[in-house]
Amino acid sequence: MYNQLSIDSDPTTWVLAAAIDASVLASGGPPFAAATLRPLPGILLVSARAAGCVALSSAGGEPHGPIPTDDVPAAPFLYLPSGSGLDPVSPGYQLADGTDAAGLQRSLTAAMTDGTLLTVGLGAGALVLNGAALPFAVIFRAAQAT
């Protein structure tokens, strides 16, 4: 069982909320979804068909990185593969106000499964994603106001 993974050439190591077996990625089924704890809490979607390599490992002791509750983004974001990795201060593309995270997860899963294009509304503009070529995406919900 593994609780950390890295995907393709993106240097980010994702620490999962629950350990997984490698078979969930090797099944050839729909994209795999998992809650992440670090470096930020979110929902990770992995398309094993589009990912060239997924490296799995187990953490020994306490995972490194920021404490999730200290770094939850103030706005909802979508993180896509990057050569520089995740920047907790600016974690990706800011989604449009009122974005339904669960609906976006369903839409991304469908685009990855069917190999179709998906348009995602941003705070200023839009993204057009090719589900057939997208190895992974991470959805970050906005921090709740206290």
Residue whose entry in the numeric block shows the structure tokens 């992974």? 136
Tell me whether residue 42 is exposed, middle or buried, using C-beta atoms within 10 angstroms of its C-beta: 0 to 12, 13 to 18, 19 or more.
buried
**pTM value?**
0.88
SS3 helix, strand, coil % of the chain, rounded to 5? 15, 35, 50
pLDDT at 75 (0 to 100) = 76
CA 135 to chain centre: 10
Residue whose entry in the numeric block shows the structure tokens 């979804």? 33
CB-based contacts of 141, cutoff 8 Å, min separation 6: 42, 72, 76, 101
pLDDT at 66 (0 to 100) = 45
Residue whose entry in the numeric block shows the structure tokens 């991304």? 108
- Tell me the pLDDT of the chain (146 aa) as tens digits: 999 999 999 999 999 999 999 988 887 778 999 999 999 999 999 998 899 899 999 976 444 544 444 556 667 899 999 999 999 888 899 999 889 999 999 999 999 999 999 999 998 899 999 999 999 999 998 765 44
